[in-house]
Amino acid sequence: MSAIVSLLRVMTVRDAEAITLEAGRVPTLRRRGNVEALAMPALEAAWLDDFAKPLLADRSLDEGPLMVAFTDEDGATYPVTIERGANGLRIVARRGGKTVAKPAPPPPPQRQLSVVRDEPVSRIEAVDGDVRERLGQLLAGAVAYAHERRGSDVFLSTGQRPRMRIDGRLEQLDLSIDDVELAACVHGLAGDAVGANVDLSLELDGVRVRINAFDHMNGCAVAARLINDRVPSLADLGLPPELASIVELRDGLVLVCGPTGSGKSTTLASLIDLLDQRRAAHVITLEDPIEYRFSARRSMIHQRELGTHIPSFAAGLRAALREAPDVILVGELRDRETIAAALTAAETGHLVLATLHAPSVIGAIDRVIDAFPDNQQRQIKTQLAGSLRVVVTQFLIPKRDNGRVPALEIVPVNAAVANLIRKGDLHMLPSAIQSGRDAGMVPLERSLAKLLDAGTVAPQAVKRIAADHDLLSALSAKLR
């Protein structure tokens, strides 16, 4: 019965007049005269039978539809019509009201508090109070198992077994999930939004997770990223000690690039923690969501979360400039407004550390410049040439045994590189990187060649990432 009750709550949360539940069909809502199908599988006849049985008691549907009232455990009553359909029972429930006065439930424990960032704060308050707790219950088993196995992500999807990502690979979990309850949670969080897509965070038995809940062609799904509270060091991450010099910079822009899941945010967190050990500075972080919680030692660190403390990265950057920071961490440069604000902050004497989805230094610079219209790109090239300090691109490669190991391209922006950026001659950057070893340049292929020589990774894993196979072969030969 709980699965059907969850669907009745979806009707209430989405402000629908009625919901139609029929065996073998997808549930539909009637809202403002329109019929909307929920993104979930068709209902099983057994669920409707279990729901209707106590309502029917000894009464029969042979003489036609039966109208009854159903009251849930919270005291909400729903007028319900039950009749026989082509494949089994057909139930139409309508919005009702409260019939039993019950005290308001206590707020969820602080460890279960969720923040929905794709919706205004008022939307959080309007969401059925137990939806987040119910979602946490669905996730709890899979998250506990993934945490024990040092997994990075958990995925729930209607019609499929839960999966976790460990060392970059997906593994199926021997757990079952209530599809109707999953759909009810996702739609309960999304409310009136067209196409459920909601960000939030939860803490489950001491494990913090970053969640995106969404619908898709075959139903609903949840992707949960497990977050480790302890900030790892550069050595813990297997990153080269050369990166430590970044925290000695006093101004300018530092970009950490790479594909999704390559550890960009973790690298930035490690750099902030190292900076906190080495010098006293005022650090403001703008994150989506807050992942690692810093315990400040020498520095003063203020962490701000998108949707909770700031409406956008760009707004957070503009506010940060009035808060006298020395260092600003930006979770991601996503749009033109954020990039422009980051460049301004870097030009005005602040050290700005940011992530960017790009496969290389050329891709990163191209993406920054292409975010602006043609008539502004000349100015942006000049700004970037003057403020960019280092571009780090990182990949995580599966090891031969277990785990993953990072491979990095490190490009300090010296006068030669800055000149190429200013002129737009980015096609010449690979030559500058290969010949700039004395300036601290590390081509990606050199990092890959070292991993190959050490026998840490398989050749096929490296070849999928290397951009210049000839250079990779030449560097590998030198190391033999």
Separation between Cα atoms, residue 93 and residue 68, nearest integer Å: 10
pLDDT of residue 432: 94
pLDDT of residue 102: 38
For 290-311, write each residue's pLDDT tens digit.
Answer: 888 899 999 999 999 988 899 9
pLDDT of residue 321: 94
* Phi, then psi, of 228 in degrees rounded to 5: -95, 125
CA-based nearest residue to 80, from 105, 106, 48, 39: 48
For 445-460, write each residue's pLDDT tens digit.
Answer: 999 999 999 999 999 9
Q: With b meaning 16 or more CB within 10 Å and e meaning fewer, what string describes 431-444?
A: ebbbebeeeebbbb
DSSP 87-106: SSEEEEEE---B-S--PPPP
98 close to 69: Cβ distance less than 8 angstroms: no
For 147-160, write each residue's pLDDT tens digit.
Answer: 998 899 999 999 89
pLDDT of residue 195: 64
* Domains of the chain, each with CATH number or no CATH: 2-94 (3.30.450.90), 110-227 (3.30.450.90), 234-442 (3.40.50.300)
Q: The tokens of 400 are what? A: 């031969």
- pLDDT at residue 103 greater than cutoff 80: no
Helical packing angle, 313-320 and 336-347, nearest 10°: 20
349 close to 325: Cβ distance less than 8 angstroms: no
CA-based nearest residue to 76, from 28, 3, 5, 14: 5
For 333-358, write each residue's pLDDT tens digit.
Answer: 999 999 999 999 999 999 999 999 99
Q: The tokens of 384 are what? A: 């970037």
Question: Would you call 480 exposed, middle or buried from its count of C-beta atoms within 10 A (0-12, 13-18, 19+)?
Answer: exposed
**Residue 30: which residues within 8 A CB-CB, separation 6 or more?**
16, 17, 18, 19, 20, 36
Given pLDDT bands bounded at 50, 70 and 90, which one contains residue 360?
Answer: very high
- Angle, alpha carbons 417-421-422 (nearest 5°): 115
Share of the chain above pLDDT 70, in %: 91
SS3 413: coil
pLDDT of residue 2: 62
Q: Which helix (H) or strand (E) holds 118?
A: none
DSSP structural state of residue 310: B
Please state the rounded mean pLDDT for residues 382-397: 97
Share of the chain above pLDDT 90, in %: 51
* Average pLDDT of the chain to the nearest whole number: 86
- For residue 432, what are the β-bridge partners? none
User: Would you say the C-alpha torsion 370, 376, 377, 383 has a positive or negative sign?
Assistant: negative
Strands across the sheet with 89-94, in order? 34-37, 28-31, 18-22, 89-94, 77-84, 66-71
Given pLDDT bands bounded at 50, 70 and 90, which one contains residue 128?
Answer: very low
Q: With b meaning 16 or more CB within 10 Å and e meaning fewer, what string describes 55-68?
A: eeeeeeeeeeeeee
- pLDDT at residue 323 greater than cutoff 50: yes
- pLDDT at residue 127 greater than cutoff 50: no
**Residue 475: which residues within 8 A CB-CB, separation 6 or more?**
443, 445, 446, 449
pLDDT of residue 257: 97
Highest-pLDDT range among 56-60, 98-102, 425-429? 425-429
**Residue 28: which residues within 8 A CB-CB, separation 6 or more?**
19, 20, 35, 36, 37, 38
